[in-house]
Amino acid sequence: MMWEIRSFSFWRAVFAEFFATMFYVFLGLGASLKWAAGPANILNIALAFGFAAATLVQSVGHISGAHINPAVTFAFLIGAQMSFFRAIFYIAAQLLGAVAGAAVLYGVTPTAVRGNLALNTIHPSLSLGQATTVEAFLTLQFVLCIFATYDQRRNGRLGSVSLAIGFSLALGHLFGIYYTGASMNPARSFAPAVLTRNFTNHWVYWAGPIIGGAIGGLIYDFILLPRMRGLSERLSILKGAQPTDLNSKRDTAGEPIELTTQSL
Percentage above 70 pLDDT, the chain? 88
Angle between helices 186-196 and 84-108 (to 10 degrees): 50
**Segment among 14-28, 30-44, 210-224, 235-249 with least mean pLDDT:** 235-249
pLDDT band at 246 (very low <50, low <70, confident <90, very high): very low
Q: Taking 60 as the threshold, does the pLDDT of residue 257 lie above it?
A: no
**Segment among 104-113, 187-196, 204-213, 251-260 with least mean pLDDT:** 251-260
In three state form, how does the secondary structure of the chain look?
CHHHHCCHHHHHHHHHHHHHHHHHHHHHHHHHCCCCCCCCCHHHHHHHHHHHHHHHHHHHHHHHCCCCCHHHHHHHHHCCCCCHHHHHHHHHHHHHHHHHHHHHHHHHCCHHHHCCCCCCCCCCCCCHHHHHHHHHHHHHHHHHHHHHHHCCCCCCCCCCHHHHHHHHHHHHHHHHHHHHCCCCCHHHHHHHHHHHCCCCCCCHHHHHHHHHHHHHHHHHHHHHCCCCCCHHHHHHHHHCCCCCCCHHHHHHHCCCHHHCCCCC
Ordered by where they begin, the domains of the chain are 2-259 (1.20.1080.10)
- Mean pLDDT of the 13-19 span: 97
Higher-pLDDT residue of 188, 255: 188
Cα 245 to chain centroid, rounded: 30
- Mean pLDDT of the 144-160 span: 84
pLDDT band at 224 (very low <50, low <70, confident <90, very high): very high
pLDDT single digits (tens) 115-133 = 767 667 899 999 999 999 9
CB 166 within 8 A of CB 50: yes
pLDDT single digits (tens) 85-98 = 999 999 999 999 99
Q: Is 114 exposed, middle or buried (0-12, 13-18, 19+ CB in 10 A)?
A: middle
pLDDT band at 157 (very low <50, low <70, confident <90, very high): low
* pLDDT at res. 35: 84
* pLDDT at res. 1: 61
Higher-pLDDT residue of 12, 6: 12
pLDDT band at 258 (very low <50, low <70, confident <90, very high): very low
Q: Taking 70 as the threshold, does the pLDDT of residue 262 lie above it?
A: no
